[in-house]
Amino acid sequence: MKKLLSLLSLVREDWHSRPWWMNLVFYFCIYMTFIYLPFDLFLKPVEVDQEIWFGYTLTGWWAKATEPLHWIIYGLGAYGFWKMKTWMWPWSSVYVAQIVIAMFIWNILNDQGTLLSATISALIVSIPMVALWRSREKFDG
């Protein structure tokens, strides 16, 4: 019980070391690094594998071959947000800008996507992109 309380104390202390919205991005990177991407790389069958890069969907072995790149990106993001490393600015916002572009293109290329859905999804993802761009002083580690 004492170890659990100690762990909760560490998490609480860590939570206060960055803005709440940045914590959401940080914990998303943690999830992608330690849960989703290992599953995606090692357990998901090649036949159903998909990766999105710049809005284009890669499938099968092409998707599987690029998964380590996503793993590296999210791993570096998790480490960078954890330690609030100076190199995270501007690279975190640049990566999210790529996601904004990808969301727009993917919606346009997708049979079920529309210009409206492309614009809305790009605008939504633009919010953390701008917030990260404006957070230079937070990355001081």
pLDDT tens digits for range 14-36: 999 999 999 999 999 999 999 99
For residues 18 and 128, the answer to whether their CB atoms sit within 8 Å is: no
Evaluate whether residue 10 is within a structural domain.
no
Residue 3's pLDDT is 87
Mean pLDDT, residues 58-68: 97
Q: What distance in Å separates the CA atoms of residue 36 and residue 42, rounded to the nearest whole number?
A: 10
Structural domain range at position 64: 19-138
Residue 64's pLDDT is 97
Evaluate whether residue 5 is within a structural domain.
no
For residues 110 and 124, the answer to whether their CB atoms sit within 8 Å is: no
Residue 41's pLDDT is 95
Over 90: is that where the pLDDT of 75 sits? yes
If you ran DSSP here, which 8-state letter would residue 52 be given? E
Total tally of structural domains belonging to the chain:
1
- Residue 133, token pair as written in the block: 């761009």
Residue 11's pLDDT is 87
- The β-bridge partners of 58 are 51
Evaluate whether residue 45 is within a structural domain.
yes
Over 90: is that where the pLDDT of 114 sits? yes
Residue 2's pLDDT is 86
- What is the reported pTM? 0.90
Of 4-18, 40-54, 56-70, 100-114, the poorest mean pLDDT is in: 4-18
Evaluate whether residue 59 is within a structural domain.
yes
Q: Where are the alpha helices (DSSP H) in the chain?
A: 2-15, 20-31, 37-42, 60-83, 88-109, 115-133
Share of the chain above pLDDT 90, in %: 90
Average per-residue pLDDT for the chain = 96
Q: Which residues contact 137 (CB under 8 A, 6 or more apart)?
A: none
Evaluate whether residue 8 is within a structural domain.
no
Q: What distance in Å separates the CA atoms of residue 22 and residue 80, rounded to the nearest whole number?
A: 11
If you ran DSSP here, which 8-state letter would residue 35 be given? I
Evaluate whether residue 62 is within a structural domain.
yes
Evaluate whether residue 13 is within a structural domain.
no
Evaluate whether residue 9 is within a structural domain.
no
Over 90: is that where the pLDDT of 1 sits? no
